[in-house]
Amino acid sequence: MMQILPLFVAIPLAAGFIIPLVGRKNPRLCDALGNATTLALLLMAISVIGKSGVYWVGGWLPKAGVPLGINLVLDSTSVLMLLTITGISFMVTLYSIQYMDKYTARSRFYSLFSLMVAGMIGVALTGDLFNLYVFLEIASIASYALVAFGCQHEELEASFRYLVLGSVSSALILLGIAIVYALTGTLNMAQISKVIGVSSKPLFYFAVALFISGFGLKAALVPFHTWLPDAHPAAPAPISAMLSGVLIKTIGIYAMARVLFNAVGMTPLFLSVLLFLGALSIMVGVLLALGQDDMKRTLAYHSISQMGYVVLGIGLGTRLGIAAALFHLMNHAVFKTLLFLNAGSIEYATGTRDYNKMGGLREKMPVTGATSLIASMSISGIPPFNGFWSKLFIIVAAVQAEKYGYAAWAVIGSILTLASFTKLQKRAFYEEPKEAAQVAKEVPVLMQASMIGLALLCVFMGVLWIPQIRDSFFMAAAKALQEGFVYATHILGE
């Protein structure tokens, strides 16, 4: 059954190489192949819901409980990540079919896109620390190229900054991996957790500090966030949506949580560092967002702020906290993707991203207006949309853990988010139409379809938090992380 696991990586990787070979002359073939790949991945991800298992690459089974080769691990947490990655990828490729008409080199776009997806899925599945680094670099390099895709001044500048800081973070992570290898003599995450025990060597703390700053840079936590507001708006809209929607979560937060909880071991000290970084990100992100005029830049700052909520939830360290954080991660993927696609549609129709030049778009672009309103209410935490439930339960978990200050802090952050999105909605969609908005008309049908699909998810995903689904899905995923070293016994046996 677990023979399906390598296919998750192999299919997008193969697509990444085949698309530029066959699709150079025929852009429609690229669209078909790109969408077929993501749809196949989504169906595969749905087929593994509720399953778990280990796949040993190359048939190198562990001998006497000691791993020899690389393994791919499917557990409740990776299922959740797989669903998020593949679901969002499919929506984004659907949107790209018509959006990318204004760019050339469509085959390269889909090729890089598939490579990025392959890297992210690899990070979500792998059980080996160095393998994680390799997949992380595949995803990162593809994303550097995608940020620079337009090859204009801003794109190149943003990509260069992103690339430099991204490479520094990769070097920090690799140094951390090297130190862990020096301490334990193995790279398999399960085996590391068996060997490392409860270590208190100074080197161990140094390695964890490297991991937190390295993955923190990838996840754009404050104070490591400076590259994100440049890089995310510069990319084409579908890529902005992918970067903010899933990339920073997979190679930043998920990878950090996996390494800290299941490989090197979580301690109260690291949890309090994460709590603090999360709280800081919530406030700094949203305050900087309030002062922006560029629509995509505002959304990028909100990504920092919302990632703060996820890290805050994980930093609480309780079952409910982590489950709510993972739920918020999934919700944020949906509504932030939708918001970036809305911004892309507006840019497609009006040619501007400055929302002081828009106004009155609600009548000119009814579908974009309605879906954007839903996404804005969702991110601001208005019931009954999905963002409300996950934020509510992060705050409930903070209260249960007797972190009243952090709970109040999260509420204030949410109110400021609402203020920022009220401003955005009012300026872009409700006021008198300004110059750029006069000629606007609704975007083509496939772009609408993708936005409507995501808006429906925003409305109905709150249902996932009813107890039956929550316990088998989010609580199980949180359990897999929180149990820490029990992870090893699932993989290597006793």
Binding site for other proteins (CB under 8 A): 130, 133-134, 137, 141, 144-145, 148, 151-154, 156-160, 163-164, 167-168, 170-171, 174-175, 178, 181-182, 187, 226, 229-230, 234
Nearer residue to other proteins within complex by CB, 40 or 168: 168
Residue 295 CB, nearest approach to other proteins (Å) = 15
- For the bound state, the minimum distance from the C-beta of residue 173 to other proteins, rounded and expressed in Å, comes to 10
Judged by beta carbon, residue 168 or residue 411, the one nearer other proteins is: 168
C-alpha–C-alpha distance, residues 12 and 315, integer Å: 33
Q: Which is nearer to other proteins, 119 or 245 (CB)?
A: 119
The DSSP secondary structure of 375-427, one letter per residue, reads HHHHHHT-TTSHHHHHHHHHHHHHHHTT-HHHHHHHHHHHHHHHHHHHHHHII
Cβ 390 to other proteins, closest distance in Å?
A: 30
Best CA proximity match to 97, nearest among 85, 109, 86, 88:
109
Read off the tokens for 314: 């994980």
As measured in angstroms, the least distance from the Cβ of 443 to other proteins is 26
Q: Which is nearer to other proteins, 229 or 308 (CB)?
A: 229
Report the C-alpha gap between 93 and 162 in whole angstroms.
Answer: 23
Nearest-5° Cα angle at 326, 85 to 420: 90
Q: Supply the minimum distance, in Å, between the C-beta of residue 318 and other proteins.
A: 36
Alpha-carbon distance 132 to 109, whole Å? Answer: 24
Provide CB contacts within 8 A for 53, sequence distance 6+. 1, 2, 5, 73, 74
Burial 230-240 (b: 16+ CB within 10 A, else e): bbbbbbbbbbb
Find out whether 24 and 68 touch, Cβ atoms under 8 Å: no
Of 152 and 472, the one with the shorter C-beta distance to other proteins is 152
* Minimum separation from the CB atom of position 187 to other proteins (A): 7
- 253: CB partners within 8 A, 6+ apart: 215, 219, 307, 310, 311, 314, 329
Distance CA 335, CA 457 (A): 9
Beta carbon nearer to other proteins, 148 or 324: 148
- What is the closest distance, in whole angstroms, from the C-beta atom of residue 12 to other proteins in the complex? 18
Find residue 178's DSSP bridge partners. none
Whether the ω angle into residue 384 lies within 30 degrees of 0, i.e. cis, is: yes
CB-nearer residue toward other proteins: 86 or 131: 131
CB 353 to other proteins: min, Å: 13
CB of 179 vs other proteins, minimal distance in Å: 8
**Chain mean position to CA 174:** 21
Nearer to other proteins, 145 or 436 (CB): 145
Burial-class residue 153 by CB neighbours within 10 Å (0-12, 13-18, 19+).
exposed
Closer of 228 and 361 to other proteins (Cβ): 228
Q: Give whichever of 187 and 247 is closer to other proteins, judged by the CB atom.
A: 187
Neighbours of 419 (CB within 10 A): 14
CB of 186 to other proteins, least distance (A): 9
